[in-house]
């Protein structure tokens, strides 16, 4: 009797524990019902993909969803469908499900159209900041921040709507100067930033305040000036390394160009010398070597606007700063130039060293003809105007031009010959090795032009000329080899021919 | 059969023809044998196929400058000596293709065109190069010869 | 008793006992009957052109060249991942006359296949396969297949990009063999994919297995020819005395071989990498890289182009089987028919002119020509849209083939009095339907075969079975 009681009791207890474990089962029915709901035409409201997504969720997320359904935060299957249809990854889903702001603002029953998040892929619609997918991908949409971090309130409360006191009550859309202070609440606070991303710098506001952008916005109160959100966006702020970020290297030119290439926006702004601000930089950059490298070839080592101008402290470089920017990558040319006669001369004229010959935005592919001294050519024109009492300098330019052109022409010629010889079956590897040397010497020569000194230039041009000599010798040797083959062929053909003749005569003789 | 009267010139003609036949046959044989014999004689330097052996000149350059650039299967390869370790990399910079050089004092492979720098594993240290340098296998053999071959993944 | 060998032979003028080396050999090996046989061996001459008889010898000459140059190449070639490509590069650039040996080897391979094809079709047209020479035909056919094997295996050995992808495409076909497909593929490739193991196997095949087989079968082939003499063509008037094989025919043979040698040398010097036609181009190029994407415009060697093109014409599924399987089946059937021609051709069997089979030969030639031309993508230049390019290729190649076919028919009609054109006509019909009318290749083939069958049936019913004119 006792044994039976113990057994039955044990069984009932384990069942109860088991049932408690399954407690959500009781609540499951509401959620299950919603999942199985059908619309007026009998079609299920929750599509099979959304069902599959739901089944793939971990227990925690499913429990969260069930909880929301229980608490009647989610009341309609259409709302549930919207949320499941986002197909979010688990950590984002978790943040979303614990965020009443988003949950409410995705429910058409609770919100008017202008306060409703739209769902869909990123598109350049005007209310892009109301695109839920953009919001989800924002770096701020994470635990501890999300909506309340900027908008204030309590995301766990039912209808919390406390707005941040730093936001001005009126004129929030005009007079945007408050934006930078608002973002800087966190972003200039090292302790705050340490909690969320220790490796981010915190000096953006300080830099901005001291820049033309900052002074225009904060001192001159001109709303055309950019604030943080102008470049970084409002809701879909992504890290700069993310290709979809507005400040990703390849998108920086178009982000800057949104204002700087627009006549209306730039109207009235002037440069330091009083001339109107140009709006041609973006177009010039796009056509330049740097623009093509960055935007067409996808070379992320190429500079975008911020590489030379800075981003938060963006400002036009001073005359001296130009060459220092260029020398970040073009160090060889810079060091050669610094030791050259041109440095003194350019500094006297207060010319921007690199930019004087190569331009700043419209940097075109260099051409050997720039060294030429004829009318309309770079070196010649400048020297005839500014360096009339140094006639030997033009001769140096001529020397550079002639040497480089000779090397270049020789190289083109040799490449054609090498291909022809290769087609004839000759060994062109030694020739190609010399051609590599020649190509290297040519590249170096074009760099060493920046020393504007014959001696220095000779250091790298001489190996090139040597390579030309060697290649000439090798080509001659290859030509001789081919002649040898032809002669060998003629000789063996004559032997064969003679033998054939002898055999033919013998044949005739034998058959007589 | 020729008549006796014609026998003498006929046999001399036949004799000449036989001579011609024999001589031309010999000439033909020689024109075939000569290339074959020259082909069969091995070249002075050993082991010509596959991996490249450093020549004497190249080996002495390596000892002097701590690096040398050699052609391997039509590609230029940088062979360098750091301490007593031999390394070999493609000498073609991954940025714009300039030939790199080795700075023994700084243990750095340097591309003079845009100041790109690579470490002794070929990885990019600084500058614009986007990818590391391809590695080659450099082996010092028992007889002191240095052999460079392409490093291939197993498979 | 003293051995007859050791007894000193008296020198007797005009005696049966021969002196010198010949005598020495004869006394030991009884060569006299052999020598007599060879002395009396004749080649039939008459109203037919002697030229066709030389083709077999020329093919053999090219093979001998292959063996000699092949052995020489073996001295420097090293199969292996790091050495195959490099050794050939070294061979052609640094080794004295290495370029010559390699170039001759490559040229001779292609020329051998050309002369072999001519030899095969000429013996077919001349009905040399009729009794008693059926096995000569069969052994020759086996030599043909072995030669294709030589070409395919040798192609991979340089281990360059072109060879690597051509071999991948070529060995892929084997997958479609029912039941054995996967096993065959793995055995052929030494694995699932083409790797260096494939090279090792192909090397073994190319250098040992195929040569052994080839030498064995060619010994048989030559033995049969020696025993039975060369076949006179059917219906030709044969002169009572033929041309003596030694020295007349043999010297002419040798003259032709020397001319071929001359051609080889000239080609090797001026066109060391081939005539530059796709599928006939052996520039070393770049080393094979299994990780690199496929070579654009990859094509097999020209003598495989027709198979390659034919495979492309089949849909993915047909009659419940996979397209390539049906194609292989068709090719197998065609090859099988070709092998047993001596037994199919009943008229030639009885030494009667057999115009139907000549026509069959011409149909085969036109069939192969059309496919090969299309395989070369002739007519595709400048057209970017793939479908439009395909249609244009079919159209241009069809035009060429029809012109050639019409020429063949005209020449056969006038010069050779041929009257049997049903099969070659059917082949041209297929060409016209596919190339000019845009009908699918298979459907045109079915239509052509049906038309031919009907025409043959009609001709059998209306004509009495008399010898219809001269054969050709």
Backbone φ, ψ for residue A56 (5° rounding): -80, -5
Is the CB of C258 inside 8 Å of chain A's CB atoms?
yes
Residue B45: pLDDT band with limits 50, 70, 90: low
Whether residue B33 has pLDDT greater than 80: yes
Distance, in Å, from the CA atom of A96 to the CA atom of A99, rounded to the nearest integer, reads 5
Terminal C-alpha separation, chain B: 76
What pLDDT is recorded for position C58? 97
Hey, what are C310's tokens? 């034919």
Q: Which residues of chain A have pLDDT under 50?
A: 23-27, 122-126
Q: Cα A366 to the chain's mean position, in Å?
A: 24
State mean pLDDT over C322-329.
88
**Cα→Cα distances A326→A320, C257, C315, Å:** 11, 71, 60
Task: Search chain B and give the residue with CA nearest C95.
Answer: B39
What pLDDT is recorded for position B139? 85
What pLDDT is recorded for position A485? 93
Is the CB of A502 inside 8 Å of chain B's CB atoms?
yes
What pLDDT is recorded for position A415? 95
Predicted TM-score (pTM) of the model is: 0.78
Chain segment C389-414, per-residue pLDDT in tens: 888 899 999 999 999 999 999 998 88
Question: Where in chain C do CATH 1.20.810.10 domains reside?
Answer: 47-290+319-342
Given an 8 Å threshold on Cβ–Cβ distance, is A502 in contact with B25? yes
**Cα→Cα distances B11→A227, A505, B21, C244, C246, Å:** 115, 14, 15, 23, 21
Chain segment B72-127, per-residue pLDDT in tens: 776 789 999 888 889 999 999 998 888 899 998 888 999 888 888 999 999 999 88
Residue C465: pLDDT band with limits 50, 70, 90: low
What pLDDT is recorded for position C4? 56
Is the CB of C95 inside 8 Å of chain B's CB atoms?
yes
* Rounded (10°) angle between helices C55-74 and C210-228: 150
Is the CB of C263 inside 8 Å of chain A's CB atoms?
no
What pLDDT is recorded for position C7? 58
% of chain B surpassing 90 pLDDT: 27
* Assigned CATH class of B52-149: mainly beta
Whether residue B153 has pLDDT greater than 50: no
Whether residue C218 has pLDDT greater than 90: yes
At residue B102, the 3 state secondary structure works out as strand
Chains that touch C (3 or more CB pairs under 8 A): A, B
To the nearest whole Å, the CA of B124 is away from the closest chain C CA by 24
Contacts (Cβ under 8 Å, ≥6 apart) of A385: none
Q: Give me the residue from C247, C258, C283 closest to A500, CB to CB.
A: C258
Task: Search chain A and give the residue with CA nearest C261.
Answer: A496
What pLDDT is recorded for position A166? 65
For C7: left if phi > 0, alpha if psi spans -120 to 50, otherwise beta; the answer is: beta
Distance, in Å, from the CA atom of C158 to the CA atom of C86, rounded to the nearest integer, reads 9
Whether residue C57 has pLDDT greater than 70: yes
For B81: left if phi > 0, alpha if psi spans -120 to 50, otherwise beta; the answer is: beta
Entry field: residues in chain B: 155
What pLDDT is recorded for position A272? 80
Given an 8 Å threshold on Cβ–Cβ distance, is B39 in contact with C98? yes
Whether residue C338 has pLDDT greater than 90: yes
Q: Which CATH superfamily is domain C47-290+319-342 in?
A: Cytochrome Bc1 Complex; Chain C (1.20.810.10)
% of chain C surpassing 70 pLDDT: 94
Among the residue ranges A250-259, A409-418, B9-18, C26-35, the one predicted with the least confidence is B9-18
Backbone φ, ψ for residue B89 (5° rounding): -135, 160
State mean pLDDT over C286-290.
86
Alpha-helical segments (H) within chain B = 4-40, 56-65
State mean pLDDT over B126-134.
88
What pLDDT is recorded for position C381? 79
Q: Give me the residue from C85, C86, C95 closest to B39, CB to CB.
A: C95
C344, C198 in Cβ contact below 8 A? no
ipTM value for the complex: 0.82
Q: Averaging pLDDT over each range in A117-131, C144-158, C435-449, which range is the top one?
A: C144-158
Chain segment C75-130, per-residue pLDDT in tens: 999 998 888 998 998 899 889 999 999 999 999 999 999 999 999 999 998 888 98
Distance, in Å, from the CA atom of C278 to the CA atom of C280, rounded to the nearest integer, reads 5
What pLDDT is recorded for position C36? 86
Terminal C-alpha separation, chain A: 134
Task: Sort out which chain C residues have CB atoms less than 8 A from A511's CB and list them.
Answer: 248
Distance, in Å, from the CA atom of C62 to the CA atom of C304, rounded to the nearest integer, reads 20
Q: Give me the residue from A330, A432, A492 closest to B74, CB to CB.
A: A432
Q: Give me the residue from B17, B32, B74 closest to A429, CB to CB.
A: B74
Chain segment A143-152, per-residue pLDDT in tens: 778 788 888 7
Chain segment A88-131, per-residue pLDDT in tens: 888 888 888 888 888 888 887 777 777 778 776 544 444 667 78
Mutate: best of B19, B25, B28, B116, partner A, most A CBs <10 A = B28
C 54-83 near B (Cβ less than 8 A)? 72, 75-76, 78, 80-83
Chain segment C351-394, per-residue pLDDT in tens: 888 888 989 999 999 999 999 999 988 887 777 788 888 888 99
């Amino acid at each position: 009797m006792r044994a039976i009681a113990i057994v039955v009791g044990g069984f009932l207890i384990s069942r109860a524990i088991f049932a408690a474990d399954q407690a959500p089962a009781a609540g499951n029915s509401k959620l299950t019902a919603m999942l199985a709901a059908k619309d007026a035409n009998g079609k299920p409201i929750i599509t099979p993909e959304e069902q599959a997504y739901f089944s793939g969720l971990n227990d925690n997320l499913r429990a969260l969803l069930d909880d929301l359904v229980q608490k009647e935060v989610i009341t309609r299957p259409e709302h549930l469908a919207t949320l499941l249809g986002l197909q979010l990854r688990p950590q984002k889903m978790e943040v979303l499900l614990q965020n009443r702001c988003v949950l409410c603002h995705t429910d058409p029953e609770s919100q008017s159209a202008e306060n409703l998040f739209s769902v869909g892929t990123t598109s350049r619609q005007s209310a892009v900041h109301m695109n839920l997918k953009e919001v989800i991908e924002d770096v701020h949409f994470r635990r501890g921040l999300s909506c309340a971090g900027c908008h204030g309130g309590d995301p766990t409360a039912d209808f919390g709507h406390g707005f941040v006191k730093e936001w001005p009550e009126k004129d929030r859309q005009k007079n945007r100067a408050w934006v930078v202070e608002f973002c800087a609440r966190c972003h200039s606070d090292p302790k705050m930033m340490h909690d969320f991303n220790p490796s981010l710098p915190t000096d953006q506001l300080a830099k901005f305040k001291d820049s033309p952008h900052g002074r225009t916005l904060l001192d001159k109160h001109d709303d055309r000036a950019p604030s943080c959100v102008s470049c970084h966006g409002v809701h879909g702020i992504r890290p700069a390394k993310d290709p979809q970020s507005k400040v990703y290297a390849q998108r920086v030119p178009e982000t800057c160009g949104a204002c700087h290439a627009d006549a209306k926006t730039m109207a009235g702004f002037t440069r330091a010398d009083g001339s109107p601000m140009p709006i041609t930089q973006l177009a010039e950059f796009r056509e330049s070597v740097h623009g093509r490298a960055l935007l067409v070839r996808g070379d992320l080592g190429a500079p975008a606007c911020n590489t030379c101008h800075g981003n938060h402290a963006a400002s036009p470089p001073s005359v001296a700063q130009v060459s220092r920017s260029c020398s970040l990558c073009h160090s060889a040319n810079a060091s050669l130039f610094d030791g050259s006669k041109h440095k003194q001369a350019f500094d006297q004229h207060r010319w921007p060293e690199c930019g004087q010959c190569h331009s700043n935005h419209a940097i075109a592919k260099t051409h050997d003809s720039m060294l030429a001294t004829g009318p309309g050519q770079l070196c010649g024109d400048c020297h005839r105007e500014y360096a009339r009492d140094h006639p030997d300098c033009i001769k140096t330019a001529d020397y550079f031009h002639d040497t480089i052109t000779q090397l270049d022409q020789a190289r083109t010629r040799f490449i054609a010959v090498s291909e022809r010889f290769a087609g004839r079956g000759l060994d062109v590897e030694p020739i190609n090795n010399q051609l590599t040397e020649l190509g290297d010497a040519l590249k170096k020569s074009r760099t060493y032009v920046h020393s504007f000194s014959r001696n220095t230039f000779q250091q790298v041009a001489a190996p090139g000329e040597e390579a030309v000599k060697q290649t000439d010798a090798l080509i001659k040797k290859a030509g001789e080899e081919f002649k040898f083959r032809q002669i060998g062929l003629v000789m063996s053909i004559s032997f064969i021919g003679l033998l054939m003749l002898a055999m033919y005569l013998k044949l005739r003789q034998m058959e007589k | 059969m020729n008549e006796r009267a014609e026998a003498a010139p006929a046999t001399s003609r036949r004799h000449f023809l036989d001579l011609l036949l024999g001589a031309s046959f010999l000439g033909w044989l020689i024109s075939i044998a000569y290339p074959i014999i020259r082909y069969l004689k091995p070249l002075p330097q050993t082991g010509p196929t596959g991996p490249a052996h450093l020549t004497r000149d190249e080996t002495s350059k390596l000892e002097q400058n701590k690096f040398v650039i050699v052609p391997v299967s039509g590609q230029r390869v940088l062979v360098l000596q750091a301490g007593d370790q031999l390394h070999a990399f493609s000498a073609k910079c991954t940025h714009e293709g300039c030939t790199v050089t080795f700075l023994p004092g700084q243990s750095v492979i340097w591309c003079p065109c845009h100041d790109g720098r690579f470490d002794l594993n070929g990885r990019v240290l600084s500058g614009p190069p986007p990818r590391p340098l391809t590695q080659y296998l450099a082996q010092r053999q028992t007889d002191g010869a240095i052999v460079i071959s392409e490093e291939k993944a197993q498979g | 008793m003293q051995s007859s060998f050791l007894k000193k032979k008296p020198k007797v003028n005009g005696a049966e006992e021969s002196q010198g080396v010949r005598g020495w050999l004869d006394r030991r090996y009884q060569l006299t009957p052999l020598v007599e046989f060879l002395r009396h061996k004749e080649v039939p001459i008459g109203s037919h052109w002697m030229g066709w008889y030389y083709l077999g010898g020329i093919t053999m000459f090219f093979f001998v060249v292959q063996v000699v140059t092949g052995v020489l190449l073996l001295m420097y070639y090293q199969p292996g991942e790091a050495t195959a490509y490099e050794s050939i590069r070294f061979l052609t650039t640094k080794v004295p006359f290495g370029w010559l040996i390699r170039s001759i080897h490559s040229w001779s391979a292609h020329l051998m296949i050309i002369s072999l094809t001519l030899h095969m079709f000429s013996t077919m047209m001349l009905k040399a396969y009729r009794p008693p020479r059926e096995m000569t035909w069969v052994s020759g056919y086996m030599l043909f297949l072995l030669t294709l094997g030589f070409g395919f295996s040798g192609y991979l050995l340089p281990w360059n990009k072109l060879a690597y992808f051509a071999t991948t495409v070529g060995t892929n076909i084997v997958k479609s063999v029912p039941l054995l497909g996967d096993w065959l593929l793995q055995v052929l490739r030494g694995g699932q994919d083409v790797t260096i193991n494939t090279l090792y196997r192909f090397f073994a095949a190319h250098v040992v297995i195929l040569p052994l087989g080839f030498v064995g079968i060619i010994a048989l082939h030559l033995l049969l020819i020696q025993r039975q003499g060369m076949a006179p063509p059917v219906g030709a008037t044969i002169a009572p005395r033929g041309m003596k094989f030694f020295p007349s025919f043999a010297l002419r043979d040798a003259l032709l071989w020397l001319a071929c040698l001359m051609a080889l040398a000239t080609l090797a010097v001026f066109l060391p990498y081939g005539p530059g036609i796709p599928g006939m181009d052996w520039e070393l190029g770049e080393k094979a890289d299994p990780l690199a994407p496929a070579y654009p415009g990859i094509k097999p060697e020209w003598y495989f182009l027709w198979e390659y093109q034919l495979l492309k014409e089949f849909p993915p599924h047909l009659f419940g089987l996979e397209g390539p399987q049906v194609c292989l089946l068709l090719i197998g059937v065609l090859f099988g028919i070709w092998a047993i021609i001596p037994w199919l051709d009943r008229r030639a069997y009885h030494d009667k002119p057999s115009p139907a089979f000549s026509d069959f030969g011409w149909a085969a030639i036109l069939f192969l020509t059309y496919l090969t031309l299309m395989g070369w993508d002739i007519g595709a230049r400048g057209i970017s849209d793939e479908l439009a390019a395909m249609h244009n290729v079919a159209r241009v190649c069809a035009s060429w083939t029809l012109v050639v076919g019409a020429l063949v028919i005209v020449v056969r009609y006038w010069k050779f009095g041929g009257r049997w054109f049903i099969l070659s006509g059917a082949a041209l019909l297929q060409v016209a339907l596919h190339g000019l009318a845009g009908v699918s290749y298979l459907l045109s083939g079915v239509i052509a075969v049906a038309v031919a069958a009907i025409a043959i049936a009609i001709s059998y019913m209306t004509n009495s079975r008399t010898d219809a004119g001269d054969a050709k």
